[in-house]
Amino acid sequence: MSDLYANIICDEKGIILASNQDYFELQVGEAITNVHPFFESLFIDSNNLQEATTFNGVHIDDKVYDITAHLYTSQRLNLKLADVTTIYDRIQSIAQRKNESLIFNEILQLKNDLLKERDTFKDQFLENFSSEIRNPLTLIHAFSSMMAKSPLSLEQEQLMTSIRSQVSGILSLVEGMQQASHSSGLSIKFNQAAFSLKELLDTALDGFENQLRLLGSRLNVSIDKNVPSYISGDPDKLLQSINHLLRFVIYQSHDHTIEVKVSELQRRANISSISITIDQIFAADNSTIITKSKEEIRLKASKNLGLNICRELLDLMNASLSIDVSDAGTISYALNFKAPVSKSGSVKTTVLNEIAAVNLKRKIKTLIVEDQAAAQMTAVKILTTTKNFDTYVLTDARKIIDMVETDDDLDLIIVANSINQTDAIELLKMMKSVRNMSNRTLKYLALSLNNDGKENKKYLRNGYHAVLGKPYTDDDLLQVIYNTVDLKLYR
């Protein structure tokens, strides 16, 4: 039909008197109430239709209609019908897309919330894990350092070397996990310095000397003459990466030869492209290793925590790590990076003899604020062994404040990052508010649970004179103290 609306006129019983519709198969004289219960309901209470009433979106069979009903005489009911199925379908489609969009956004928000919760949990776990492991590592690290200075047999020296190497490995893993976990979406600050790549490599290799001997493996090192003597970059992160890679390679080598080659690939605009290649050469009769596929080796490497941390650190430095296997069975690990060439670098100087030679006439009165038993015992043992310190230990905030307020002779306060009642910064504020002003030489040293420069600056900014990260050795603690206090007052 050409008209937009169809009209149906019925009597008081619903019998069609006239109609121009072709929606339903009905003729004049038939009852419209037989089509659908909707029409039947109109005649039950037709007195409410004295004025025209429109019913929108009436579903009849597979169609949708807008129906206007008007009882214009007591015996006549005029029905005006419009097929709005197409329009309704469009509205439904738009509404459905809108609902789907809302649902999608809600799901996306839920996913983001879950990711945030996961990241928060991961950060809290790593923070707690770091806290729990650094205190016992401090004890092991410091005591092994102290024992290494005493007369030891060759076997004992090897044992001490192994212990210190394992501590360094665990610490490297912890710091690597923290740095990798904070890398996503954050700007990681690098410590830029000029350094010798040869010295850095020597430092890394020295830590594995004992393991190589125990495993019966041989290590050959060659540095190409074109490699610059000094480069600029973050030596700490590069050292961590090299340590993780070496640890992975060495612990899979039994009676093998490991060749470390350092070469310069190219140099442009004073930027050197350097490759550190570690070749794991297996014995000719070791057919099991030789026949391993590249995929198997890469799969094993992908599951190693230390190597994954190595990759994360290298990504942060815009460097890369590749693994390849030759037909002869040699596995090659190539660490490639770029660094500006520097004319000179920092020269390492040993201060161990100077520390050991410090002999004071007046003892440094020191208060240690540390409630972790292992770390507390470590600090006390280090200080008392030198006989240069008069040492006290407190963990209760009220007693700490009382001592700071009343003791004029207190020289140094060593504060752990937190104790049960407060953290190091809040405690420092309380101590400074009650400090006896006649004591102008009092120094504050914070013991931090990480070596993050930003975190350490927070301590310094809030009034600490020095910060030392855990784990530390006896030499580390004594050097920081002797550099912080004025030794001329005690000689």
CATH number, position 218: 3.30.565.10
412: which 2 tokens?
């140094």
220: which 2 tokens?
């050959």
343: which 2 tokens?
């004319």
Residue type, 138: T
Coil/strand/helix, residue 56: strand
| Strands, E assignment, 156-234 | 193-196, 218-223, 230-233
- pLDDT digits 0-9 by tens, 396-441: 888 888 888 888 889 999 998 777 767 888 888 888 888 766 667 7
49 pLDDT higher than 80: no
Q: Are 248 and 300 in contact (CB under 8 A)?
A: no
Q: Are 31 and 40 in contact (CB under 8 A)?
A: no
313: which 2 tokens?
């650190």
- Do 196 and 325 lie in one domain? The reply is yes
pLDDT of residue 368: 93
Q: In 10 A of CB 147, how many CB atoms?
A: 15
- Do 197 and 270 lie in one domain? The reply is yes
**468 lies in some domain:** yes
- pLDDT digits 0-9 by tens, 115-139: 777 777 766 666 666 667 777 778 8
Q: DSSP class of residue 48?
A: G
**325 lies in some domain:** yes
Distance of alpha carbon 400 from alpha carbon 428, whole angstroms: 10
- Do 329 and 362 lie in one domain? The reply is no
Q: Are 245 and 259 in contact (CB under 8 A)?
A: no
- Its domain, for residue 272, covers 191-342
- pLDDT digits 0-9 by tens, 165-213: 677 767 766 666 666 555 544 445 566 788 888 888 888 887 777 777 7
Distance of alpha carbon 454 from alpha carbon 155, whole angstroms: 41
**158 lies in some domain:** no
- pLDDT digits 0-9 by tens, 86-112: 888 888 888 888 888 888 888 888 888
| Percent residues over pLDDT 70 in the chain | 81
Distance of alpha carbon 207 from alpha carbon 195, whole angstroms: 19
Residues sharing a CB contact under 8 Å with residue 300, sequence separation 6 or more, in sequence order: none
From 365, 194, 201, select the one nearest 277 (Cα to Cα): 201
Q: Are 412 and 481 in contact (CB under 8 A)?
A: yes
Residues sharing a CB contact under 8 Å with residue 37, sequence separation 6 or more, in sequence order: none
From 21, 121, 128, 37, select the one nearest 417 (Cα to Cα): 128
Query: What CATH number corresponds to the domain at position 60?
Result: 3.30.450.20
Q: Are 383 and 424 in contact (CB under 8 A)?
A: no
Domain boundary among 44, 66, 83: 83
**104 lies in some domain:** no
From 278, 272, 394, select the one nearest 341 (Cα to Cα): 272
- Do 485 and 455 lie in one domain? The reply is yes
Q: Are 33 and 12 in contact (CB under 8 A)?
A: no
- Mean local confidence (pLDDT), 43-68: 82
CA atoms within 13 A on the CB side of 305: 10
**154 lies in some domain:** no
Q: Are 416 and 377 in contact (CB under 8 A)?
A: no
Domain boundary among 83, 117, 151: 83
Distance of alpha carbon 435 from alpha carbon 418, whole angstroms: 20
Coil/strand/helix, residue 333: strand
Find residue 414's DSSP bridge partners: 368, 445
Domain boundary among 315, 342, 369: 342
User: Which is more confidently placed, 428 or 295?
Assistant: 428
Residues sharing a CB contact under 8 Å with residue 126, sequence separation 6 or more, in sequence order: 177, 178, 181
Sheet-wide strand order for 63-73:
16-19, 6-10, 76-83, 63-73, 53-60
- Do 199 and 258 lie in one domain? The reply is yes
Query: What CATH number corresponds to the domain at position 401?
Result: 3.40.50.2300
Whole-number Cα distances in Å, 410 to 84, 375, 395, 443: 91, 21, 16, 9
User: Which is more confidently placed, 294 or 262?
Assistant: 262
- Do 363 and 383 lie in one domain? The reply is yes
- Do 448 and 333 lie in one domain? The reply is no
**116 lies in some domain:** no
| Strands, E assignment, 206-330 | 218-223, 230-233, 257-268, 271-281, 320-325
**174 lies in some domain:** no
pTM of the model: 0.54
- Do 442 and 300 lie in one domain? The reply is no
- Do 335 and 366 lie in one domain? The reply is no
Distance of alpha carbon 156 from alpha carbon 147, whole angstroms: 9
How does strand 53-60 pair with strand 271-281? unpaired
- Do 305 and 200 lie in one domain? The reply is yes
| Percent residues over pLDDT 90 in the chain | 14
- Mean local confidence (pLDDT), 22-31: 86
- Do 287 and 361 lie in one domain? The reply is no
Number of structural domains the chain divides into: 3
- Do 215 and 334 lie in one domain? The reply is yes
**143 lies in some domain:** no
